[in-house]
Structure 1
Amino acid sequence: MRNQLRRFDRSGSFFPTFFNYINDDVFKNLAEGSLPATNVSETENAFNIELSVPGFKKEEIKIEVEKDVLKISAAHEANSEEKDENERVLRREFKKTSFTRSFSIPENIDIENISASQNDGILQVTLPKQTVAAEDKVKKIEIQ
């Protein structure tokens, strides 16, 4: 019986696949969180948001603005299957990954000209600032 267990276990442990998966992935995700690493910077003309999204295709990423909130979400699903020579399934695995990040954006963002690009696993979102003339900000108050 011990030899049969070792066929599925390289280390000799009784529950290798289950506990290796728990230790390697689940606790790591709990400790690190499942949200992508994010950088936010501001220039004179825009805010820039960079998200680390390796493994996500641009078709899997959704960016939308509702009121004063920028919402970036993504979902990815991967499946794999191993069969023996008789086409019997030996192992079938799947992985679903998703995230949603929301950012409050200031009133001076030009929502119509927000742009995004993705390169080498980095999603770059640029939120241009609207140029508001100084006289638009001045409010005259009459004395009564």
Structure 2
Amino acid sequence: MMMPSIFGENLFDDFMDDFSFPTFPNVDKELYGKHAKNLMKTDVKETGNAYEIDIDLPGFKKDEIQMELKDGVLTVSAAKGLDKDEEDKKGNYIRKERYAGSMSRSFYVGKHVTVEDVHPKYESGILSFSVPKEEAKPVEEKKHYISIEG
């Protein structure tokens, strides 16, 4: 039996994924579909005094990405809508895979990090920034003597 395909990809790929019954619901899959695992892929690299973070956000414009730092948690959000012009086009979609919606990812970076510490850069679909490590404070050894009554 021949399956219809467009651009060499089977229209019924991931068909069996619809029949998986996990014991716990997969929230990401419910919110973003079967390909949720491919969204906001992140690399974190440790350097001498910082952590360097790269997040894949292909197809987003810089003004569709927002970063917020609150109580030591850095949240990266991205929101995208399809152009209104595209919605007005005539014709029936056979397959629609482009993403429209919003997503976010949060990282605990520590309460020592300030907005001025984070210098994000967005190039070629990758959001890059670094976060300083908290400096280890030297432990002062204080002796607390207890007097013995006698």
TM-score normalised per structure 2: 0.61
Q: Which residue of 2 aligns with 1:104?
A: 108
Instruction: Considering fraction of residues, name the structure with more helix.
Output: 1
How many Å apart are 1:73 and its aligned residue? 0.6
CA-based RMSD of the aligned residues comes to 3.5
Counterparts of 1:3-82 in structure 2, within 5 Å, are 20=11, 23=13, 29-33=33-37, 35-79=39-83, 80-81=86-87
C-alpha separation in 2, matches of 1:43 and 1:138: 27
Instruction: Considering fraction of residues, name the structure with more strand.
Output: 1
Alignment-mate amino acid for residue 65 of structure 1: L
* Shift in alpha-carbon separation, 1:112–1:95, aligned structure 2, 3 A: closer
Q: Is the Cα–Cα contact under 8 Å of residues 39 and 57 in structure 2 kept in the other structure?
A: no
Percentage identity across aligned positions?
Answer: 31
C-alpha separation in 1, matches of 2:121 and 2:78: 14
Number of aligned residue pairs: 120
- Runs of 4+ with >6 A deviation: none
C-alpha separation in 2, matches of 1:34 and 1:124: 18
C-alpha separation in 2, matches of 1:120 and 1:58: 10
Residues 82-124 of structure 1: CA deviation (Å, up to 9, x unaligned) = 65xxxxx445888513211011123554553111101111100
| Structure 2 unaligned blocks of 5 or more | 5-10, 19-28
Alignment-mate amino acid for residue 77 of structure 2: S
Q: Is the Cα–Cα contact under 8 Å of residues 110 and 128 in structure 1 kept in the other structure?
A: no
C-alpha separation in 2, matches of 1:77 and 1:141: 62
